[in-house]
């Protein structure tokens, strides 16, 4: 398909699927929490502080989605960005925080991980450093709760960073504290003034330890993402089940608005081009780096890729299991001239592709900055898939 775009080539990145992760010198660590009353959130801030204390390390604080629309969250927690399961692959390390609920992790955190089957079967988190911290009431069952969280992380093959006796030298031993050798906790029900300075210090040390592990391991990570597993090859990879397990609903395939077709098929290759249309309107239109934020651009890119997959489904006669490979994705982004984060934004399309198609989602990729895009879309994706 011919494109008449005045293209400013500001960044081109070619890689394979989610292996096309941006590798900067900075270590990026996610602090992902569930917190109802804010106790875990306070601990998370100390963890983030510890991460940022480690040279060249950045902490990003997010929460898991609520599973109950009536859940009343602490106001500060409510404001946190909500993480998606597929974005976990993007970080160099992850600190997980949850309240202790009945000597276990919270239902919300558990529900979040119940969506991680595709990451598990594709071994996408294997070798990634992780640590666990918690907020408890009396502290009853706090260690069991951390260890039950460890079971999930071990299932994903993550490298678990424990705390040992970090921070105990300065621990105020005149009152009960939430220290454990597995991870920091806070006894929030103890005095009403928790987390205590000692508990915050433990959390800070823990954050620093995770950042150290993440920094050391990050350049060894790229080789292992998305390998085919025996699980996947034995039981088969059903794309419809993957979509359902991840609550991904494909939109109706957008209709052409000119003298062209939504896709062509030539020699078992399907060619598709889409912009960020959602319910007949462009999602987050405008220029990235000026009127569109990176988060909005990622959302628009995700939507564009959903549209691509919806069209692909039509091309496959309704059965996405006919897809043999995502061959190539090209992302065009309407950006300011100095903008450079194209690859990071395109990851939301690449990660979705990897999540939906597993091993078949591995693709070559290019990202390109443009002065403008049709109907003021912030993004356009050209996709080539091979089908049966």
Ligand X SMILES: Cc1cc2nc3c(=O)[nH]c(=O)nc-3n(C[C@H](O)[C@H](O)[C@H](O)COP(=O)(O)O)c2cc1C
109 near ligand X (CB under 6 A): no
Contacts of ligand X in 16-35 (CB under 6 A)? 35
148 near ligand X (CB under 6 A): no
Choose which of 40, 330, 335, 347 interacts with ligand X (CB under 6 A). 40
The nearest distance, CB 210 to ligand X, in angstroms, is: 19
Stretch binding ligand X (CB under 6 A), from 18-26, 100-108, 359-367, 376-384: 100-108
The nearest distance, CB 282 to ligand X, in angstroms, is: 38
Contact 300, 284 (CB under 8 A): yes
121 near ligand X (CB under 6 A): no
Choose which of 83, 152, 188, 214 interacts with ligand X (CB under 6 A). 188
Beta strands in the chain (DSSP E): 7-8, 27-33, 57-63, 93-99, 129-136, 159-160, 185-187, 263-266, 269-275, 277-278, 281-282, 323-334, 364-370, 379-387
Choose which of 141, 157, 162, 286 interacts with ligand X (CB under 6 A). 141
Secondary structure of residue 332 in the 3-state scheme: strand
Interatomic CA distance for residues 63 and 38, integer angstroms: 11
The nearest distance, CB 25 to ligand X, in angstroms, is: 33
CB nearer to ligand X: give 35 or 110: 35
37 near ligand X (CB under 6 A): yes
CB nearer to ligand X: give 147 or 248: 147
Interatomic CA distance for residues 333 and 371, integer angstroms: 8
Stretch binding ligand X (CB under 6 A), from 98-106, 249-257, 287-295, 320-328: 98-106
100 near ligand X (CB under 6 A): yes
Q: Which residues pair with 136 in a beta bridge?
A: 187
Interatomic CA distance for residues 280 and 381, integer angstroms: 17
CB nearer to ligand X: give 138 or 372: 138
CB nearer to ligand X: give 39 or 358: 39
Contact 29, 35 (CB under 8 A): no
66 near ligand X (CB under 6 A): no
38 near ligand X (CB under 6 A): yes
Contact 10, 335 (CB under 8 A): yes
CB nearer to ligand X: give 30 or 136: 136
Stretch binding ligand X (CB under 6 A), from 95-103, 150-158, 287-295, 298-306: 95-103
Choose which of 76, 102, 227, 290 interacts with ligand X (CB under 6 A). 102
Q: Which tokens hold the place of 238?
A: 């059903």
Residue 142, burial from CB neighbour count under 10 angstroms (0-12, 13-18, 19+): buried
Interatomic CA distance for residues 197 and 375, integer angstroms: 54
The nearest distance, CB 185 to ligand X, in angstroms, is: 8
Please report how many Cα atoms fall inside a 13 Å half-sphere around the Cα of residue 341, on the Cβ side.
12
111 near ligand X (CB under 6 A): no
Count the residues in the chain: 388
243 near ligand X (CB under 6 A): no
Interatomic CA distance for residues 97 and 107, integer angstroms: 13
Interface with ligand X (CB under 6 A)? 35-40, 99-103, 135-142, 188-189
């Amino acid at each position: 398909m011919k494109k008449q775009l005045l293209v400013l080539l500001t960044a081109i990145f070619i890689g394979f699927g989610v292996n096309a992760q941006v590798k900067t010198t900075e270590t990026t660590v996610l602090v992902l929490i569930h917190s109802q009353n804010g106790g875990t959130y306070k601990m998370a801030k100390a963890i983030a502080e510890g991460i940022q204390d480690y040279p060249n390390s950045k902490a990003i604080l997010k929460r898991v989605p609520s599973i109950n629309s009536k859940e009343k969250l602490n106001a500060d927690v409510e404001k946190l960005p909500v993480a998606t399961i597929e974005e976990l692959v993007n970080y160099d390390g992850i600190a997980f925080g949850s309240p202790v609920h009945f000597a276990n992790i919270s239902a919300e955190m558990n529900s979040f991980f119940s969506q991680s089957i595709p990451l598990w079967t594709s071994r996408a988190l294997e070798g990634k450093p992780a640590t666990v911290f918690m907020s408890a009431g009396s502290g009853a069952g706090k260690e069991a709760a951390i260890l039950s969280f460890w079971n999930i992380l071990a299932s994903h093959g993550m490298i678990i960073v424990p705390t040992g006796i970090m921070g105990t030298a300065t621990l105020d031993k005149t009152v009960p504290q939430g220290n454990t050798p597995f991870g920091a906790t806070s006894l929030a029900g103890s005095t009403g003034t928790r987390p205590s300075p000692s508990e915050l210090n433990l959390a800070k040390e823990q954050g620093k330890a995770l950042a150290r592990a993440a920094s050391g391991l990050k350049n060894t990570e790229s080789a292992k993402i998305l390998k085919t597993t025996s699980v996947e090859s034995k039981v088969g990879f059903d794309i419809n089940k993957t979509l359902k397990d991840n609550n991904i609903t494909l939109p109706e395939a957008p209709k052409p608005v000119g003298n062209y077709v939504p896709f062509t098929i030539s020699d078992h290759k399907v060619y598709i081009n889409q912009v960020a249309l959602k319910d007949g309107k462009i999602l987050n239109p405008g220029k990235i780096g000026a009127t569109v934020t990176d988060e909005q651009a990622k959302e628009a890119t995700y939507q564009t890729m959903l549209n691509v997959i919806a069209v692909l489904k039509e091309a496959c006669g309704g059965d996405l299991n006919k897809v043999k490979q995502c061959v190539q994705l090209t992302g065009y982004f309407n950006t300011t001239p100095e903008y450079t984060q194209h690859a990071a934004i395109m990851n939301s399309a690449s990660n979705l592709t990897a999540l939906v198609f597993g091993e078949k989602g591995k693709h070559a990729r290019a990202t390109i900055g443009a002065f403008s895009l049709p109907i003021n879309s912030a993004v356009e994706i050209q996709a080539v898939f091979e089908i049966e």
